[in-house]
Each structure stands twice: as C-alpha cells, then as structure tokens.
Amino acid sequence: MNVVVGRVGRPHGLTGEVTVLVRTDSPEQRFAPGTEYRLADGRLLTVRATRWHRGALLVRLDGVTDRDAAESLRGAVLTVPADDLPPLDDPDEFHDHELVGLHAVLADGQPVGTVREVVHGPAGELLSVAREGRPDALVPFVRDIVPTVNLTEGKLVLTPPEGLLD
C-alpha cells in the first residue's frame, strides 16, 4: 500500500521549480535530495533540491527545467510505500493509512460506518466516515469525539456531540 506524502502544485518561477502541498509530518525526510516518486503514468521523479519560501515547499526535480515541464506535473500525487514510514513514538498518533478502513462505532457499540479518508483541513484532521444509505459524516479527529482507536480490533469509538451525525 502506498501513502500520499504530497501533491504537486503550481510552478514557481521559470526554471522548473514546483510548489508541493505537503501531506507528511516529515517533509525534510520525504523530500530529501535523491528521493524518488513513481507517478501513476509510470514517470519517475527524483528530488534534486528543496527549499521553503513563504511557508510553501519548493521542490526542484531532475529533468524538470522550465515552467512548462513544471506545469505538466501540476496535480501529480507523490506517494511512498507504507512500509517506508517510520513508526510513531506517540501512541495517540496514527498514520492516515492506519485509520482508513477502521469500523466506527458509538460508545454503546452501535455501528456508524467505516473510515473512508482522513481529511487534513486548516483547523485539523477530520475522519470521513462512510455510512450505509447516508452521506459520509465528517468527524473531527479529536480525543473528545474519538476517545478510542484500536488498530488491533480494527475499530474506533465515537462519542459525537448531539447532531454531529444527523
């Protein structure tokens, strides 16, 4: 299984640099020079250099030498094998791929649905929970609402405030 660590954004300048929307807690490691990414179309991208500019990660890739080449990469998803991710030291932190597929249940055991995706928003992470016959529910991934995550049992417990799942 591969996990997303970034997505290529707009070009920066005229010499082929691209902005990257970072989806990892370790950008220095995931975008280190020499890191390789295989795109869905089979192309191989190799990081040549990175730098931060006004809060955005700028990445220079081998073979991408002008704005047109950089523009052709816009929207490309950068992934790494899940096995390459380092273990987390904090037992209350999880990689996104560990949460996707978990069964969400209420404290009384009533099933709610299955975690479809972890959405990274400006105010924090949300769990998109797929529910049978109903629209997905967006659940804030905070301890007060998700007090228990049990990877071994493949479930998480929700204690949502009134109206959150309506």
User: CATH 2.30.30.240 in the chain, residues?
Assistant: 96-158
User: CATH 2.40.30.60 in the chain, residues?
Assistant: 2-84
Q: Estimate to the nearest angstrom the gap between the alpha carbon of 108 and the chain centroid.
A: 30
CA dist., res. 148 & res. 156, Å (int): 5
CA dist., res. 121 & res. 135, Å (int): 19
Token readout for 45 is 């991208």
pTM, 2 dp: 0.64
Class of domain 96-158: mainly beta
Q: Which CATH architecture has domain 2-84?
A: Beta Barrel (2.40)
- Cβ atoms of 76 and 59 within 8 Å: the answer is no
Question: pLDDT tens, position by position, for the chain (166 residues)?
Answer: 777 888 999 999 999 999 999 988 788 888 999 999 888 788 889 999 999 999 899 999 999 999 999 999 999 989 888 777 777 777 788 888 889 999 999 999 999 999 999 887 777 889 999 999 999 999 999 999 999 999 999 999 999 999 999 8
